[in-house]
Each structure stands twice: as structure tokens, then as C-alpha cells.
Chains A and B, each alone.
Chain A
Amino acid sequence: MNLALRDIRHNASRFAFTTVGIGLLLMIVMGMGGIYRGLIFEATLLVDRIGADLWVVQGQTRGPFAENSRIPASLEDRLRAVPGVARSRRFVSHALQREHHGKPLRLMVQGLAWPDDKGEWVSLIAGRSLGLALGEYVKFGKDRYRVVGITGGMSGIAGDGLAFFTVSDAMAIQFDLPGEALRLERAARVGRSENQDLGRTQPLSLERAGGPTSTLSELAPPQVSAILVTLQPGTNLDHTVNLLSAWPDISIHTAQQQRDLLLSGTVEKSKRQLGLFSVLLIIISTIIIALIMYTLTLDKIHDIAMLKLIGARNSVIVGLILQQALLMGSLGYGLAWWMGHYLFPYFPRRVLLDTPDLIKLAGITVAISVLASLLGIWKALRVEPNTVLT
């Protein structure tokens, strides 16, 4: 007969409450790991999905994920001429926060190099989204944009949803200025030109200076964040990198380098932060299980002495305590998993439960259950059978 189960049945409510408590703690530990996996997923989502082999960015910079990167959009055409390059596209990305229906709307404006990049790699499924409805109109800058598709699970490194536009729209949103500012800037431009030799000798240019900025390609060529390069199959990546490294105006990074860059910064810090919290929670769980196992043992120390008196082996007594601790740990773990599956999807940021992480936590739970029962076992093994008589 199983003594552990029979004792639990007798102390059912106390056992149940503690198990729920342990379950909640383990759920938080599980969630911490999930948040970390979620961070990695979100941070690298774009780099992984966009399918570029090389990221060409402003010279001496590490690209749009690290700092402001500005390179002329025309670089796209220069890169197409490089042997081995199958495809090159403009990449525009910037964060934006606006009010929408009285609520803050934070999004990452993501420019797609339409028609070259039609966004086939974006999964169009409903899910975690910006909260915009299909067909809804949103005003950014001078223009109104209609939502024509809802993506699922697309978010940037800060957890903000990605909003996809064409590159030119993304740029229009990025460089939008109020009408008055534009008028002032054009007037200032005309003023500057008038005072210069160019303006005096070429009066027609004054007319151009007073026009929209985008028509002044010589003065302000369109700037994008990066150019994405896809290589032809069979092209040597290192070879192309070496070739492009000779161009002094740009820096070049492989997709893997961009990935590492994204992970080494904020994510690495968050990892340590979450890891420390997890360790603390695991220690707390151990202490709680240990204390409850100890009190449960003290409560039945007389019965344990009686069992010894009638000749029970130590294995019977150790089994009684150990089985209870393991049961508490595994029920807590199961509860944590079950609750997590219902709760985590409602968390504001992605919580990804990774199977290897879950297995690791299961192992840790078993280990802390064993560890936590040691105090009770030590107490139980020390009790003399003749304490029954007192």
C-alpha cells in the first residue's frame, strides 16, 4: 500500500494549496524562459524571414538595428551589377507612435521594395496584431492608408507590431513634415540659393529650390536604411563580402552577423535578468517545498516513530517523504504548464514555450523536489522509535 498517497489524502487541502502555490511559482519560471525565447524570436524574426544574404548599410555603422543607417537608395542598382548578386532591395524601417481611436498605436514601419518584394514572406494570418481592422483607414503624414491585410505574429525587437508599406510610402511617413515647415524650408532654400553664386547665375534653379524636396534628387537623394542583397545560388558568400568590403562608402554584414548583433545587445541583458529571476524563483520554490515537507514530516513524526517501532525499513520512511515531494513537484509542474498555456497568450509580449526548456525545467523540478525532501528525511531518520512512548 502506498503510504504517501494515503497521507496526502488525509492532508488533502494543505497539500493542494501548497501544490497550487508551487504551480504558480513554476509557471512564472516557465514564463521567464518563455519571455526570453520570445525576445529572441521577435528580435530575429525580421532578419530570419526577410531572406537576405547580405545587409549593406551606411559605412562605419552596424546597420538599422544598431543605429541610424542612411544610404542612398540608388545603391540598389550598383549592387545589382555585382557578380553573383541575384536580387537587391531597399529596406526601410523606423518606429512610430501615434494615437488611434484615443489609444496609443506603436508600430514599426516596414518598407517593402514593391514590386520586387511583394511581402510573400509575411504570413497573412490573424493573430497578434496591431489592433487595426481589415479595411480600416489610418492617417500617417499627408496620406490615408487602408489596411489590406492582417499579419500574424510579426513583431520587431521591441515587441511592437510590424506594419508593412511600400518603401516610398515608408519614406514619405518617415520624412513627413507639416505644411508650414515645408513652406518655411522651401523659402529658406530659395533664400540660401539667392545669396549664392549658383542662384544668381542660374535663376531657374531658384524655381526648382522652391519645389518639393523629393524632386531635388541632386540635393537630397532618397535615403533608405539598408539595401538587402540576395545572392545567386552557388555564389560564395565570403567572396562577395570581400568584394564589397572594398567599397569605402558602405559597410556590409551577413544575415548571421545581423542576427548576432540583435541578440548580443538588449536580448543578452534581458537573458541575464530573466535568468537571475528564474534562479531566485527556483530557490524560493525549493524552500517552500522543503518547509512544507518538513512540517508535514513533523506532523507525522510520531507515526514515523511508530512505523520504525514495528520495524519499517528506512526505505519505507524515505519513500513516504520523497514520493510526496516528487508528487508535489510534478503536480505543480503540470499545473504550471496547464495554466501557462491558458495565460501566456494574453501576455503583452510573446511567451514562447520551447520543448527543450520545458524538459530542462521538468528536470529542475525533480531535482528541487528531491533536495527539498532532504530536510524532512533527515528529521525522520533521526527520530527514535521509543518517542512513540512519550
Chain B
Amino acid sequence: MNASPQQPAIEAIGISKIYGQGQTEVIALNDVSLSVARGEVIALLGPSGAGKSTLLTAMALINPPTSGRIVIDGVLVMEGADAKIDLRTFRRQHLGFVFQKANLIPFLTALENVQVAMEINDMPVRAARQRAMYLLDHLGIADRANNLPDALSGGQQQRVAVARALANQPNLILADEPTAALDSHRGRQVMELFAQVAHESLAGVIVVTHDTRALDVFDRIIEMEDGRLLDG
């Protein structure tokens, strides 16, 4: 996966996604192609139902497209709904995710939630713990490290989720409305953190957002409507 910086972090080529069939058929993505360069931070905008989440989860390898190809770091990973590699291993090693809900593991503390992502990626416990602490500190929640998610506010939980997404130094970070639960100041901080990680470690970042106040952080803004990318 040590591809040259010129190579795109991810390429989605002619992706279509059709939910249901017959009467209930919904074309959520209609021949979408998108390429994200290494170190590039992209905002994905669009009205509700435009297909933003569908595109993001398809690129996150958790929602196989109906047709089209996904190439990550020069490796063909999806062809239509067929996985060309072991997706779970690939996700573990190369992708980071943040969703609208934090989706923390409720029986693990904030620190452990970040740590577990590295431990399942075979990092030694001590190193994982240290890095988890470093990330939480960086996101301003080190003082809550030993709290269970229940005891954290929505915004604090979301920051733990961001720390978890960054834990394995992914090549590609995919975030679906990650700042919905944060105030605009914290929201902006998270966006800036993504941008910083992208630029420092040459990771590609795609963020679905409705928050137009922080758009200046992004390198490129892409709009979607009715399952298509708008030119612009």
C-alpha cells in the first residue's frame, strides 16, 4: 500500500447503488465517480436523500455498491458487490470512520474505546494505550479517559469516536456528519483536526456535512443531488 503521493487515496469509478427492487426500488447512487488525492480534504454536501451516506458507506467498504469499482491506494477492492480482498482486514488497516452517532462500545471507557481499535490491529497493549491517551489529550478529553460513554456528553463521545478513527493512522478517513453533535467551535476544531491529519500523514478525508460555517477548512467541496455529483 505504499503507493506514490500522486496516486489517489481512493477512486470510486461509475458507482451505482440500487436499494430494493420493483415498486420500492430506489436509485441512491447513479453512476458516481469520485477521486480523492492523498492529503486532500473533501466536503460532501447535498440535500437529504441525495445519496451522501450511501456513497460514503460504499467507499467505507461496508455497503457494497450494485455496480462500479472502488480502488484504494491503487488496489481494486470492490467490483460491483464483489469484494476483491478481505474487507475487514482492509478496513482495520487503512480506514477510519466517524458517523453521526459516536457508536462507542458502552462497556469500554473512553480510553479503551480508542485503544481497542489499535489492539485489534495487533498493536501491543502499552503502545496502544499510550497513543489512545495522546489522541484523547489532543482532542481535549484526556480528563474523561476513564469514563464509560454513558457518562460523557454527546460532543465528548463524538470526540472519542474521532480519536478512534485516527488511531490506526488510516490512509482514508470517512466521516458522516461527524460534527452534528458538537457546537460550532468544537465542530470546527474537529474539521481542522481532520485537515491537519490529512496534510501531515497524506491521508484522504471525505466529510459529509451540513455545517457551511466550516467549509473554509476543506480543499474541495462536492455537492450531490439525486444520486449524482453536481459539476462544480
Contacts and interface: CB of A to CB of B under 8 A. Distances in A.
Interface of A: 1, 3, 6-7, 9-11, 300, 302-303, 306-313, 316, 384-386, 388-389
A11 B107 CA distance: 9
B57 A310 contact: no
B62 A385 contact: yes
Q: Which 7 A-B pairs have the closest CB atoms?
A: A311-B92, A10-B107, A311-B91, A386-B62, A312-B120, A7-B107, A303-B105
A381 to B, nearest CB: 12
Contacts, number: 68
B70 to A, nearest CB: 15
Given A308-B88, A388-B103, A389-B57, A313 B108 contact: no
A303 B106 CA distance: 8
B16 interface: no
B116 interface: yes
Given A310-B92, A386-B63, A1 B116 contact: yes
Given A1-B125, A6-B108, A316-B120, 19 more contacts: A1-B115, A3-B116, A9-B107, A11-B107, A300-B107, A303-B105, A307-B105, A309-B97, A310-B92, A311-B88, A311-B92, A311-B93, A311-B120, A312-B92, A385-B88, A386-B57, A388-B99, A389-B62, A389-B99
A311 B93 CA distance: 8
19 contacts: A1-B125, A3-B108, A9-B107, A303-B106, A306-B105, A307-B105, A307-B116, A307-B120, A308-B88, A309-B62, A309-B91, A310-B97, A310-B117, A311-B88, A311-B89, A311-B90, A384-B62, A385-B88, A388-B99
A312 B121 CA distance: 8
A9 B109 CA distance: 12
Interface of B: 53, 57, 62-63, 88-93, 95, 97, 99, 103, 105-108, 112, 115-117, 119-121, 125, 148, 164
Contacts of A10: 106-107, 148
Nearest to B103: A306
A313 to B, nearest CB: 7
A45 B116 CA distance: 60
A23 to B, nearest CB: 23
